[in-house]
């Protein structure tokens, strides 16, 4: 997977732009804190809106556009060690394991298949609207047709 750095950027951009869980798990405030002029007392349960943070133009250039390159050379550590937006959290357990699995599965699917839309459908027909909730999901199913291809060297 080290020879596919752009694919990793695409995965990171996809998860950033469309987080599976837009609202992070509740966290207990360990000490008094102030955010945007609001006092958060110690012991209060706080829910972080990761979806809103990812779309804040104060921190992100063109936050609503799909731009995998934004993660390439921006000085932030997206291995779970840069806590600029979510202070006092720890690296997710198993992060490297699940990322390796996602990369492997995606690489295999892209290598072995071309992807077409169903007969009579064009890209403009796709409804990419999301329904917001505890998890993020598309309002309508994405229908694609895998077309198996044989590698040229076989």
Q: Determine, yes or no, domain membership for 106.
A: yes
Query: What are the two backbone dihedrals, phi and then psi, of residue 33, each rounded to the nearest 5 degrees?
Result: -145, 155
Neighbours of 72 (CB within 10 A): 12
pLDDT value at 90 more than 60: no
Instruction: For 92-113, write each residue's pLDDT tens digit.
Output: 677 788 888 999 999 999 999 9
Q: Determine, yes or no, domain membership for 108.
A: yes
Give the E-state strand segments of the chain in sequence order. Answer: 27-28, 33-35, 38-40, 45-46, 113-116, 130-131, 137-138, 145-148
For residues 9 and 1, what is the distance between their CA atoms, to the nearest angstrom?
12
Provide the domain limits for residue 71.
Answer: 5-114
Between 51 and 85, the more confident residue is: 51
Tokens of residue 133, six digits:
């909730």
Question: What is the domain count for the chain?
Answer: 1
pLDDT value at 71 more than 90: no
Lowest mean pLDDT among 27-41, 54-68, 88-102: 88-102
pLDDT value at 80 more than 60: no
Q: Determine, yes or no, domain membership for 104.
A: yes
- Please compute the mean of the pLDDT values over residues 80-85 and round it to a whole number: 47
In whole numbers, what is the pLDDT of the chain averaged over residues? 83
**DSSP per-residue string spanning 37-94:** TEEE-TT-EE--BHHHHHT-TTTSSSTTS--GGGGTSSS--TTTT--SSSTT--PPTT
- Please give the model's pTM, rounded to 2 decimal places: 0.72
């Amino acid at each position: 997977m080290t020879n596919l750095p752009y694919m990793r950027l695409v995965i990171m951009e996809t998860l950033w732009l469309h987080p599976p869980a837009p609202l992070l798990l509740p966290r207990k405030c360990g000490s008094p804190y102030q955010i945007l002029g609001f006092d958060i007392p110690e012991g209060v349960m706080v829910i972080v809106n990761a979806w809103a943070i990812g779309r804040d133009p104060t921190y992100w250039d063109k936050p609503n556009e799909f731009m995998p390159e934004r993660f390439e050379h921006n000085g932030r550590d997206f291995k779970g060690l840069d806590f600029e937006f979510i202070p006092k959290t720890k690296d997710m357990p198993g992060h490297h394991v699940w990322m390796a699995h996602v990369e492997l599965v995606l690489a295999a699917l892209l290598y072995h298949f071309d992807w077409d839309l169903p007969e009579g459908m064009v890209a403009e027909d796709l409804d990419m609207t999301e329904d917001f909730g505890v998890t993020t999901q598309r309002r309508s199913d994405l229908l694609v047709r895998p077309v198996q291809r044989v590698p040229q060297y076989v």
